[in-house]
Amino acid sequence: MAENNVRLIYGGGSAGIMGTIADSVMENGGSVTGIIPKVLLEWEVQHQNITELIVSDDMHIRKKTLYNLCDAALVLPGGFGTLDELFEIVTWNQLSIHDIQVFILNTDGFYDHLILHLQKMREEGFLYEKAGQSIIFVNTPAEIVAYFN
């Protein structure tokens, strides 16, 4: 991201995959903005070594701020919070609240079952075509970089 002058906008934590990515972007001269809700300041130790840390009043404002600041979303392997943010951003795309391209990094097939579930939802008539078009599954980070070069 730093090499391509892409600013990282993420949840603001110092732990896990996203903390490691934030560290790497900073170590390579990039820019990082974290957005963390007050409630998580004790749970998810905020990152102290990033360009900017925004503290929001709650999770809803955090997600809205994330979406308003980003040009695209990259979903990495994760848990309930990751899925919550993924489905909210796709739903907001569907409702034309914004139009953000979503990339899902399917490392080692982590999201294979999600792909099958989305196909089933489409087959059963639960997905609008626009919702499916805003998601691009990729298997490597290099595939994402190719979209922006």
**HSE-up of residue 36 (Cα within 13 Å, Cβ side):** 23
CATH dotted code for 72-149: 3.40.50.450
pLDDT in tens, 106-148: 999 999 999 999 999 989 998 876 656 789 999 998 898 888 7
Which residue ranges make up each domain of the chain? 1-70, 72-149
The answer to whether 63 and 50 have CB atoms below 8 angstroms apart is no
Q: Residue 16: left (phi > 0), alpha (psi -120 to 50), or beta?
A: left
CATH class of 1-70: alpha beta
Work out the percent of the chain whose per-residue pLDDT is above 90.
Answer: 71
Give residue 131's pLDDT: 56
pTM of the model: 0.89
Q: In what order do the strands lie in the sheet with 8-10?
A: 8-10, 32-37, 52-56
User: Do the first three CATH levels of 1-70 and 72-149 match, i.e. the same topology?
Assistant: yes
Whole-number Å distance between alpha carbons of 38 and 135: 30
Whole-number Å distance between alpha carbons of 40 and 56: 10
Does residue 149 have a pLDDT over 70?
A: no
Q: Residue 29: left (phi > 0), alpha (psi -120 to 50), or beta?
A: left
